[in-house]
A and B are shown apart, each in its own frame.
Chain A
Amino acid sequence: MNRTFDWDAAGDALPLLLEGFRVTLLATVLGTLVAAVLGLAIAVAGRAPSRFVTVPVKAVMEFVRATPLLVQLVGAAALFTSVEPLTIGIVVLGVHYATYTSEVYRAGIDGVPKGQWEACRALSMSPRRTWRAVILPQAVRNVLPALGNYAISMFKETPFLAVITVHEMVFEARGYGADHFAYTEAFTLAGLVFLVASYPTSLLMRKLEKRLGH
């Protein structure tokens, strides 16, 4: 079984992998969008004045956070068989990561000085206007780099989607490997594509973080 790296097979597999990479990117971008919006909603709901809101929100969040993404994905796919796998993947990834991004937003909201809330009260602004015009603009700006970091880690978790037959990069790599008995080439290339895509992005994020962190 001992064989060397076959460059021809690698060249052959690359177009297929890049095709899958498009789906990987799409899932990452849309999943991040879901996580960013839903995370904000959870963070704001977590500060609601009533315990009937905050306690269930926190409980669900803890549960989603502490359970495996793979089980959530496979479970959702088995329950909603009529929904397209890619849609399920994006929603489940988004919801899973929303429980993490909500933490980031929470810290961002806590970072807004108390005086800002008091000033809004003094100006008798409605709660809605307080959030929209005063608190969120200050909170969201600071959390952008952290959200970017979660986007990168979500990107590295998209291979999960292959399990529910989304045709992303790992799905294609596995298919190519099985068809041509060239797992080595397919998975090595797929790993390199991940590295090439994620490393510069994380460097960029670190730079952005430093700039915003004064």
Chain B
Amino acid sequence: MSDFFSTLLDELPQVGAGLWVTAQATVLGSLLTLLLSFTLGLAAGSRLLLVRGVSRTVVEFFRGTSLYIQLFWLYYAMPQLTGYELTPLLCGVVAFGLNYGAYGAEIVRGAVNSVPRAQYEAAVALNMTPLHRMRKVILPQAWVQMIPPFTNLLIQLLKCTPLLWLISAADFMTTIEHIRSLTGETVTAYLLLLVVYFVLAYTLTLLMNLLERSAKRRLGLHTGGRGLFRTRTAEAVTTAGGAR
């Protein structure tokens, strides 16, 4: 036990660097996710069949072919096929972004559709341009709906970052694995990994809850502080019958 932590102290710069790689992958991956979610999600609501079709195809493709295959494809297959190589971290960011962006597109589409029809009509009646309508009326309301499912997606993305270990990016998992192999302290090493990831996930959840609160405030919906510490968003499980 003490052996493990003394080695951990010796290797602290590496551990810090590993944590930094994990953080970068999470943040950049979720930024790409957000960008793709909105692009694909809004395209799915387009009036043009072609735009809608392309968006659906891309979404189904990236949802259907497992994240791990996408990651390995980028890391192993793409250099073979194109001669062009991405750094491991970039492979991770692109794969996470594409995969979760496809899931996020469904979130955006669903949230935009859930804004009451009358809001569209009112915006049309006020002679707003489509862009103005989207920016000032539809998205602020849809955004509040999107935050809880996006929180889930973000946590899932964070939980996938240890995959970077497999494509030899020196992430947090890699550094702890290294210390484990030096000291042979299996239980301590994995417990530490689990606890750190749990803390990261909980911190992200708290931040997202804060974001949700401020988004609600902007719509005039005030919420108490109680919901701030909840770990999970109340997912509406529509298939489960609900309250009858």
Contact = CB atoms under 8 A, between A and B. Distances in A.
Contacts of B43: none
A189 B161 CA distance: 24
Contact of B239 (A75, A199, A213): A213
Contact of A159 (B68, B197, B231): B68
Interface in B180-215: 186-187, 190, 193-194, 197-198, 201-202
B143 to A, nearest CB: 24
Contacts, number: 153
B33 to A, nearest CB: 17
A187 B77 contact: yes
Interface in A62-99: 62-63, 65-72, 74-75, 78-79
B73 interface: yes
Contact of A190 (B69, B81, B173, B194): B69
Contacts of B225: none
Contacts of B73: 187-188, 191
Contacts of A212: 239
A183 interface: yes
B235 interface: yes
Contacts of B237: 103-104, 107-108, 143, 146
Interface string B162-191: 110110000001000000000000110010
A130 to B, nearest CB: 18
A3 to B, nearest CB: 6
A191 B66 contact: yes
**A interface: dominant SS:** helix
Interface string A110-146: 1111000000000000000000000000010011011
B68 A71 contact: no
A146 B80 contact: no
B173 A159 contact: no
B159 to A, nearest CB: 4
B16 interface: no
A75 B76 contact: no
**B interface: dominant SS:** helix
Nearest to B80: A184
B115 interface: no
B240 A142 contact: yes
A159 B240 contact: no
Interface stretch (B2-10, B57-65, B122-130): B57-65
Nearest to B74: A187
26 contacts: A2-B82, A4-B81, A65-B232, A66-B155, A71-B190, A75-B193, A79-B186, A103-B232, A104-B239, A107-B241, A108-B237, A110-B243, A111-B241, A139-B240, A143-B237, A163-B166, A170-B69, A182-B80, A183-B80, A187-B69, A191-B69, A194-B65, A195-B65, A198-B64, A209-B239, A212-B239
Interface of A: 1-5, 62-63, 65-72, 74-75, 78-79, 103-104, 107-108, 110-113, 139, 142-143, 145-146, 156-157, 159-160, 162-163, 170, 173-174, 177, 181-184, 186-188, 190-192, 194-195, 198-199, 202, 209, 212-213
Given A157-B66, A192-B65, 10 more contacts: A66-B198, A68-B162, A70-B163, A103-B232, A107-B242, A111-B243, A142-B240, A184-B77, A199-B64, A209-B239
